[in-house]
A and B are shown apart, each in its own frame.
Chain A
Amino acid sequence: MNSLVLRPVIRRTGLLRDLPKAFAPQFAPFTSLSRPPPNYEGHVPLTVPERGLLAVGSAVISLLNPRRGDLIAALGEATATPYFIYRLRDAMLSSPTGRRILKDRPRINSTTMSMEKLRKLPDGTVGREYVAWLDKEGVSPDTRSQVRYIDDPECAYVMQRYRECHDFYHALTGLPIIVEGEVALKAFEFANTLIPMTGLSMFALARLRAEERRRALTMYFPWAIRNGLQAKEVINIYWEEELETDVEELRKRIGLEKPPDLRKIRAELKAQKKAEKTVRESVEH
């Protein structure tokens, strides 16, 4: 493995330093009949076998039915411990902006992010790109489920923050919400945040057509891994403060290149195929 990948990987994972802490159990052993009281609203402490079952079940069902966003979220929570969510939380603690986010615990939903105000921002700003992307793809910031299966309240917030920022990552990279775009973005997120669910999402490649899969593997994955590792941790971006920043400037600041425009490529290929088809049909007649 070349050093361009190895050094950032070692830096990103910090395994040797964090191993003992990350495996410490949160609760004394308990059973499903004697669950400890919740640590935050909606919290459900799960036993290890329950977490395993939830992980396996949600992985299988969400692969077969990708519209079950709630199960993709549950998979993320079930596989976040041990280690991975603690590493992400520590990455936030190591950065001044990350520490501020953890202190303020801002939430992203249609109440805290006024869509009307964002639409009035100048083109090319983060806020404008975000709301333009939401409008184009027809999604709303209110569709994210609450974190329930992570025991530490601070880590639960970190997961919630990651989930709510996902749409901003879409806006930052310009990747669309079709399966191809999601898989490319998840690959980037895995290289950057190391959340296991993002890595497990690579199984969704099986749902793509051969041509899309080839494009994902040859064009988007190298982009995702290279940028995911060399860019700064996107979890540390205080989005609420960056709404009026120019998108290009933000990308430069965190060290991210914009990937090829997927929708444009697909549209061009579709137009090309259509043109070839009409030529073929006119030749036949």
Chain B
Amino acid sequence: MSARPVSRGLLSAASSKHLRSIVPRVAAFHSITPKNDQSNSEPVTHFGFQTVKASLKATKVAEVFSSVASSYDTMNDVMSFGIHRLWKDHFVRSLNPGRRPGGQPMSILDVAGGTGDIAFRMLDHSEKVNGDRETTVLCTDINADMLREGEKRAIQGGYDSNRISFCVENAETLESIPDNSIDLYTISFGIRNVTSIPKALKSAHRVLKPGGVFACLEFSKVSPAPLDAIYQQYSFSIIPLMGQLVAGDRDSYQYLVESIKRFPSQSEFARMIKDAGLANVGKGYEELTFGVASIWKGVKPLE
């Protein structure tokens, strides 16, 4: 994927593959190990249309990416002081995924799901709160490496492969996902990286079933103004610096804070969601932590 040798990747501790992946990749999501390896008796699991061996035999690329992925996880904790975990927990809890009493199991699509943060929370909530082990999550991302890391974590977490699958997809097109097939579409800290947000919203509208829910967790505008001033200073001063110290990658985090600044305001984005044909729920959004992050929800109208 990257031209740099593996050892250099380890020493520099991170690459910017994840945050800079805006350009769609041709769906070249190869399996990690050859399919017909009879000599090895390790258990194999199926994920979507790929066969993956247990994580012990991960390739060097996958190993390098794990160290990169773990430094990104550390960065998420460092930047948000661990609060991103609370946001994600609240996001999933407020959506209440899983079969309702007397209802059907859900089919959930988590876009830009990367390493599976939200997907695993959805499965856990469905099982523990709603006693539902049949709800499925399709976790997509434009970056195959992030998905590979997600697959590894799914194996490690013991998630059954018929409950979760991984697939390379561009959020703007969602090519392989049929119309009107998804009950719950989620995108968490991913929509701001999409080149054309209206296109992504249109795709969301297409794949959702009538009555299906669109939910987006994303960084938003902080208010009141004095707090915003402090937040801006923190964003542009501390975050890229922490990126350099923790992940060895100042540029990706500079990009991150710039993309947060560029993202539309809460009400503007709620309007964009409405324009894409998804009816707003209430005022359309719920602010978290003074507006540092917000949850937007939309519903595809019944015909």
A binding-site residues for B, Cβ under 8 Å: 31-33, 44, 47, 49-50, 53-54, 57-58, 61, 67-71, 74, 143, 148
What residues of chain B lie closer than 8 Å to A53, measured between beta carbons? 238, 241
Bound complex: CA A228 to CA B256 (Å): 44
Bound complex: CA A216 to CA B190 (Å): 52
A67-B11, A70-B12 as given contacts; A31 in contact with B245, CB under 8 Å: no
What residues of chain A lie closer than 8 Å to B236, measured between beta carbons? 32-33
Bound complex: CA A71 to CA B245 (Å): 7
Asked whether, in the complex, the Cβ of B237 is within 8 Å of the Cβ of A68, the reply is: no
Name, among A33, A49, A58, A148, the residue most crowded by chain B CB atoms within 10 Å (CB to CB): A33
24 pairs, CB–CB < 8 Å, chain A vs chain B = A31-B233, A32-B233, A32-B236, A33-B232, A33-B233, A33-B236, A47-B237, A53-B238, A54-B244, A54-B245, A57-B241, A57-B245, A58-B244, A67-B10, A68-B11, A68-B13, A68-B248, A70-B13, A70-B244, A71-B244, A71-B245, A71-B248, A74-B244, A143-B8
Instruction: With both chains docked as a complex, state the minimum distance between the C-beta of B241 and any C-beta of chain A, in angstroms.
Output: 6
What residues of chain B lie closer than 8 Å to A32, measured between beta carbons? 233, 236-237
Instruction: With both chains docked as a complex, state the minimum distance between the C-beta of B176 and any C-beta of chain A, in angstroms.
Output: 39
Bound complex: CA A67 to CA B8 (Å): 10
Number of interface residues of B (CB under 8 A): 15
Q: In the complex, what residue of chain A is closest to B249 when comparing beta carbons?
A: A70
- Per a CB cutoff under 8 Å, which of A49, A54, A69, A148 touches B11? A69
Instruction: With both chains docked as a complex, state the minimum distance between the C-beta of B68 and any C-beta of chain A, in angstroms.
Output: 14
Asked whether, in the complex, the Cβ of A58 is within 8 Å of the Cβ of B232, the reply is: no
What residues of chain A lie closer than 8 Å to B232, measured between beta carbons? 33
- Per a CB cutoff under 8 Å, which of B10, B11, B245 touches A61? B245
B binding-site residues for A, Cβ under 8 Å: 8, 10-13, 232-233, 236-238, 241, 244-245, 248, 250
Bound complex: CA A148 to CA B248 (Å): 13
A33-B232, A143-B8 as given contacts; A70 in contact with B248, CB under 8 Å: yes
Bound complex: CA A57 to CA B8 (Å): 22
What residues of chain A lie closer than 8 Å to B11, measured between beta carbons? 67-70, 143
Instruction: With both chains docked as a complex, state the minimum distance between the C-beta of A124 and any C-beta of chain B, in angstroms.
Output: 31
What residues of chain A lie closer than 8 Å to B12, measured between beta carbons? 70
- Per a CB cutoff under 8 Å, which of B10, B13, B237, B248 touches A50? B237
Chain A: interface secondary structure? helix
Bound complex: CA A57 to CA B11 (Å): 17
Bound complex: CA A143 to CA B7 (Å): 10
Bound complex: CA A33 to CA B254 (Å): 12
What residues of chain A lie closer than 8 Å to B238, measured between beta carbons? 53
Shortest 3 CB-CB distances between A and B: which pairs? A32-B237, A32-B236, A57-B245
Q: In the complex, what residue of chain A is closest to B13 when comparing beta carbons?
A: A68
Having A33-B232, A33-B233, A44-B250, one finds 7 other A-B pairs with CB under 8 Å, namely A31-B233, A32-B233, A33-B236, A54-B244, A70-B11, A70-B248, A71-B248
Q: In the complex, what residue of chain A is closest to B239 when comparing beta carbons?
A: A32
Instruction: With both chains docked as a complex, state the minimum distance between the C-beta of B82 and any C-beta of chain A, in angstroms.
Output: 19
A44-B250, A143-B8 as given contacts; A58 in contact with B245, CB under 8 Å: yes
What residues of chain A lie closer than 8 Å to B10, measured between beta carbons? 67
Q: In the complex, what residue of chain B is closest to A61 when comparing beta carbons?
A: B245
Instruction: With both chains docked as a complex, state the minimum distance between the C-beta of B233 and any C-beta of chain A, in angstroms.
Output: 6
Instruction: With both chains docked as a complex, state the minimum distance between the C-beta of A134 and any C-beta of chain B, in angstroms.
Output: 15
Bound complex: CA A63 to CA B232 (Å): 31
A68-B11, A68-B13, A68-B248 as given contacts; A50 in contact with B233, CB under 8 Å: no
Name, among B8, B10, B245, B248, the residue most crowded by chain A CB atoms within 10 Å (CB to CB): B245
Bound complex: CA A50 to CA B243 (Å): 13
Instruction: With both chains docked as a complex, state the minimum distance between the C-beta of A71 and any C-beta of chain B, in angstroms.
Output: 7
What residues of chain B lie closer than 8 Å to A71, measured between beta carbons? 244-245, 248
Instruction: With both chains docked as a complex, state the minimum distance between the C-beta of A31 and any C-beta of chain B, in angstroms.
Output: 7
Bound complex: CA A244 to CA B236 (Å): 49
What residues of chain B lie closer than 8 Å to A49, measured between beta carbons? 237
Bound complex: CA A69 to CA B10 (Å): 11
Q: In the complex, what residue of chain A is closest to B234 when comparing beta carbons?
A: A32
Instruction: With both chains docked as a complex, state the minimum distance between the C-beta of A69 and any C-beta of chain B, in angstroms.
Output: 6
What residues of chain B lie closer than 8 Å to A61, measured between beta carbons? 245
What residues of chain B lie closer than 8 Å to A58, measured between beta carbons? 244-245
Q: In the complex, what residue of chain A is closest to B248 when comparing beta carbons?
A: A70
Bound complex: CA A273 to CA B232 (Å): 60
Instruction: With both chains docked as a complex, state the minimum distance between the C-beta of B3 and any C-beta of chain A, in angstroms.
Output: 12
What residues of chain A lie closer than 8 Å to B233, measured between beta carbons? 31-33
Q: In the complex, what residue of chain A is closest to B245 when comparing beta carbons?
A: A57
What residues of chain A lie closer than 8 Å to B245, measured between beta carbons? 54, 57-58, 61, 71
Bound complex: CA A44 to CA B250 (Å): 10
What residues of chain B lie closer than 8 Å to A143, measured between beta carbons? 8, 11
Q: In the complex, what residue of chain A is closest to B229 when comparing beta carbons?
A: A33
Q: In the complex, what residue of chain B is closest to A60 when comparing beta carbons?
A: B245
Bound complex: CA A71 to CA B246 (Å): 10
Instruction: With both chains docked as a complex, state the minimum distance between the C-beta of A64 and any C-beta of chain B, in angstroms.
Output: 11
Instruction: With both chains docked as a complex, state the minimum distance between the C-beta of B141 and any C-beta of chain A, in angstroms.
Output: 27
Asked whether, in the complex, the Cβ of A54 is within 8 Å of the Cβ of B248, the reply is: no
What residues of chain A lie closer than 8 Å to B248, measured between beta carbons? 68, 70-71
A68-B11, A69-B11, A70-B12 as given contacts; A54 in contact with B237, CB under 8 Å: no
